[in-house]
Amino acid sequence: MARQKGIIKLKGTIGDITFYKTQDGHLAREKGGIDANRIATDPAFQRTRENGSEFGRAGKAGKVLRTALRVLLLNSADSRMVSRLTQSMVKVIQADSTNERGLRNVIDGEAELLAGFEFNIRGKLGTSLFAPYTGSIDRVTGEIMVDIPSFIPSNMIAAPGGTTHFKIISAGVEVDFENESFVEQHAETAILAWDATATAVINQVNTVTPNSTKPLFLALGLEFYQEVNGSMYSLKNGAYNPLALIVVNGGV
């Protein structure tokens, strides 16, 4: 892979060189690679096929989770979140000690490894919300909860420049990775002033299927706003809104 320099940037293929644009700039690479049929049949590429199978499984699992959290992710995701989540799902699958390589999956892996995953690398929950909070999952009742004691917003929330208001959002998700389905419920506070006035105690309860055996997730985030002439506008179109998985229960 080489970086294009100069005033004129090329796109397309000239001879054996392909020119293309990425987030990292205009790049160029030489065409090549191994025949796909050989990869699919040659015993020498057994490990490649196994890795490919598990990577594809990780991609599908990540898509299901993203779809489940779509309402919150509309304003709280960075441009490379999909690839980062897929990489995390690969680690979950690789932790499967039950199945053979190539057949490992999320269900038999360690979904708990996703705890702490930040969906927006530009605005992380861990560097935005300093108020103490407690997340919990009650598998019997299906209640996925977050509790936040009263706090002073200007002291306990690191907000981007221009912020006048904010709200706290959460979601409880039950995911069936095998059937690519989910149950989701989310909650949010009213839009609150980012000032020195203490908030009320915040308790959000998101309910999924009672006694579920599927992996359960609790996501927590913030949305920042700027008030202009009495109207609220999502600050910089949500570029700095954090959202993270704070509790994960991998299923039984």
pLDDT tens by residue, 71-117:
999 888 888 999 999 999 999 998 888 888 777 888 878 899 999 99
Average pLDDT over residues 10-36: 63
| Residue 50 DSSP SS3 | helix
Average pLDDT, the chain: 86
**pLDDT attached to residue 37:** 62
Lowest mean pLDDT among 11-25, 53-67, 79-93, 151-165: 11-25
Phi, psi of 87 (to 5 degrees): -60, -40
| Burial of 218 (C-beta count, 10 Å sphere; 0-12/13-18/19+) | buried
Summarize the chain as % helix, strand, coil (round to 5).
Answer: 25, 35, 40
Question: What per-residue string of b and e applies to 175-184 under the rule 16 or more CB within 10 Å gives b?
Answer: bbbeeeebbb
Confidence class of residue 39 from pLDDT cuts 50, 70 and 90? very low
Residue 177 contacts residue 61 (beta carbons within 8 Å) = yes
The helix/strand/coil state of 235 is helix
Q: What is the pLDDT of residue 42?
A: 46
CB 217 within 8 A of CB 183: no
What pLDDT digit, counting tens, does each position of 234-247 carry? 887 778 999 999 99
Taking the CA atoms of residue 90, residue 92, residue 93 and residue 97 in that order, the dihedral angle to the nearest 10 degrees is: 140
Which pLDDT value is given to residue 75?
86
For residue 65, count CB atoms less than 10 angstroms from its CB and return exposed for 0-12, middle for 13-18, buried for 19 or more: buried
pLDDT of residue 46 exceeding 60: no
**Would you say 31 and 16 are in contact if contact means Cβ atoms under 8 Å apart?**
yes
User: How does pLDDT run across 106-158, given as a tens digit for each residue?
Assistant: 887 889 999 999 999 999 999 999 999 999 999 999 999 999 999 999 999 99
Query: 7 pLDDT band (50/70/90 cuts)?
Result: low
Predicted local confidence at residue 48, as pLDDT = 56
pLDDT score recorded for residue 56? 83
C-alpha to C-alpha distance for 83 and 90, rounded to whole angstroms:
11
Stretch 183-192: mean pLDDT, rounded? 97
Query: How confident is the model at residue 66, as a pLDDT?
Result: 96
In this prediction, residue 82 carries a pLDDT of: 94
Count how many Cα atoms sit within 13 Å of the Cα of residue 114 in the half-sphere of its side chain. Answer: 32
Cα(96)–Cα(34) distance, integer angstroms: 30
Cβ neighbour number for residue 58 with a 10 Å cutoff:
24
Q: How far apart are CA 199 and CA 132, in angstroms?
A: 13
* pLDDT of 45: 46
Mean pLDDT (whole number) for 202-221: 97
